[in-house]
């Protein structure tokens, strides 16, 4: 559109009337101009109209584009809105907010922040699985928990339709992190690929001995109990008087007189010491033990030899004797009357667990030591020693008489019994 239009410049408008010769006149411009102006008529007005219409169309189209752009920024704006309304709507557009950076946004996704400038994220999407964990360790800040360090990135499996992901925890890495040691695991158990090394061991029963015993159970798992057989307390009679014998929380007070010195448990008239409980006369007849009290006379204990009752009438103490305290048992004997009593007495020491039938029948089972004392003259006292220095058992002393003619005889006597240390 023309923008340099000029007006006529003159001092006074002058017209000259020209006779047309037909009775009319035509005014003729006779003005003296200092500047001639531009012509302005229908042509110029049409040109201006065309240009104005074109401007209006351009403005209308431009408003539609601006309105669409504003609406695209989530502020609805009509194409017919005034420029004032559009300006107000533009002011309502949020350019962007937040402090996200490209590394914080998933790769391939766009976002804006406070700068208002759209950017594309660079955070890698690891998908469902990112491989092995970088490290596994115990938490120093949270009790009873561990942590696994993942590779940086997002874990979003779009094919699964939901976010989430995982990493593998290698058995060796996890076992090392928790301090797993197969040396402390039973061999029937495997954890994190490590098989236990502790072997199993069945229960055992230990019988106490005089020597130390070892149950080889180190680094083994017991599947049963270790039982130690009970040891009974010894009888008070075998524990020295004045001493207390303990086993665990139980004890027995000894009643045994001091056996470390010589003593005479039978002095020809009465019993004491190791024979304090006395004795009896025993024999074996018809598969039975026949017992009868001893007859003590002025000559001592009367014993007999009888062919009717299998010959063996024995002197038998009522209580066992601890032989280990002594070295010798000394016995004095005699016979009175007819020389048919000439013969001998047999002294025998048996273990205390020997069956009485074996003792009374002079069997060798359970026999510890034996000796004989010969007799030739009536009324003469004969003495013999039974060596028990190597005997450490608990047992019984027996004495019986026989004669050379194998006849019944009733006047044998035990006059004295001594235990020598």
**Residue pLDDT, tens place only, 92-114:** 877 777 888 998 888 888 888 88
Note whether residue 343 is domain-resident. Answer: yes
Examine the domain organization and report whether 17 and 141 are in the same domain: no
- Condensed to tens digits (0 to 9), the pLDDT of residues 187-244 reads 888 988 899 888 888 888 888 888 888 888 888 888 889 888 888 888 987 888 888 9
Q: How far apart are CA 112 and CA 97, in angstroms?
A: 7
Tokens read off for 300: 């001592």
Cα-to-chain-centroid distance, residue 144: 17
Mean pLDDT calculated for residue range 355-368: 89
pLDDT of residue 142: 77
| pTM exceeds 0.75 for this model | no
Where in the sequence is the domain holding 246, given as residue range(s)?
A: 231-255
Residues 191 and 240 in one domain: no
**Sole residue written with tokens 């208002």:** 116
CA distances from 161 to 127, 128, 158, 165, 216 (A): 12, 11, 5, 12, 61
Count how many domains the chain has.
6
For 383, residues 6+ apart whose C-beta sits below 8 A from its C-beta are 330, 331, 332, 333, 373, 416
Higher pLDDT, 292 or 131: 292
Whether residues 269 and 416 share a domain: the answer is yes
Could you tell me if 333 and 290 lie in one domain? yes
Q: How confident is the model at residue 128 (pLDDT cuts 50, 70, 90)?
A: confident
Rounded distance between C-alpha atoms, residue 180 and residue 186, angstroms? 13
Q: Which two tokens stand for residue 355?
A: 């069956």
**Region of 379 on the Ramachandran plot (φ > 0 left; ψ -120 to 50 alpha; else beta):** left
Q: Report the CATH number that the domain containing residue 378 is assigned in CATH.
A: 2.60.120
Q: Can you give the length of the chain in residues?
A: 421
Q: Pairing state of beta strands 409-420 and 263-266?
A: antiparallel
| pLDDT mean over 345-350 | 95
Structure tokens at 66: 């601006």
Same-domain pairing of 339 and 415: yes
Let me know whether 267 and 404 are in one domain. yes
């Amino acid at each position: 559109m023309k923008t340099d239009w000029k007006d006529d410049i003159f001092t006074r408008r002058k017209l000259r009337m020209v006779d047309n010769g037909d009775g009319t006149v035509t005014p003729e411009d006779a003005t003296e101009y200092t500047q001639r102006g531009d012509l302005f008529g229908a042509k110029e007005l049409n040109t201006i109209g065309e240009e104005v219409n074109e401007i209006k169309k351009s403005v209308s189209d431009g408003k539609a584009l601006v309105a669409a752009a504003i609406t695209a920024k989530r502020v609805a704006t009509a194409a017919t809105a005034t420029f004032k309304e559009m300006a107000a709507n533009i002011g309502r557009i949020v350019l962007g907010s937040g402090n996200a950076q490209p590394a914080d946004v998933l790769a391939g996704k766009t976002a804006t922040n406070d700068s208002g400038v759209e950017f594309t994220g660079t955070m890698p999407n690891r998908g469902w699985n990112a491989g092995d964990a970088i490290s596994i360790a115990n938490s120093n800040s949270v009790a009873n928990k561990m942590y696994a360090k993942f590779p940086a990135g997002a874990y979003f499996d779009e094919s699964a339709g939901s976010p989430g992901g995982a990493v593998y925890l290698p058995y060796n890495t996890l076992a090392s992190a928790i301090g797993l040691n197969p040396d402390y695991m039973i061999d029937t158990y495997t954890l994190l690929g490590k098989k236990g090394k502790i072997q199993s061991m069945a229960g055992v029963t230990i019988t106490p001995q005089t020597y130390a015993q070892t149950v080889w159970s180190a680094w083994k798992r017991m599947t049963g109990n270790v039982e130690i057989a009970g040891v009974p307390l010894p009888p008070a009679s075998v524990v020295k008087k004045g001493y207390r014998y303990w086993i665990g929380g139980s004890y027995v007070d000894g009643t045994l007189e001091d056996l470390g010195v010589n003593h005479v448990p039978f002095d020809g008239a009465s019993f004491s010491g190791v024979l304090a409980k006395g004795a009896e006369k025993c024999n074996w007849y018809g598969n039975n033990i026949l017992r009868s009290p001893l007859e003590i006379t002025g000559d001592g204990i009367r014993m007999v030899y009888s062919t009717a009752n299998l010959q063996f009438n024995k002197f038998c103490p009522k209580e066992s004797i601890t032989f280990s305290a002594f070295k010798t048992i000394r016995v004095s004997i005699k016979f009175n009357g007819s020389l048919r009593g000439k013969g001998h007495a047999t002294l025998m020491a048996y273990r205390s667990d020997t069956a009485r039938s074996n003792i009374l029948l002079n069997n060798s089972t359970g026999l510890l030591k034996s000796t004989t004392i010969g007799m030739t003259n009536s009324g003469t006292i004969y003495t013999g020693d039974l060596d028990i220095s190597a005997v450490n058992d608990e047992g019984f002393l027996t004495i019986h008489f026989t004669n050379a003619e194998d006849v019944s005889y009733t006047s044998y006597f035990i006059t004295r019994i001594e235990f020598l240390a």
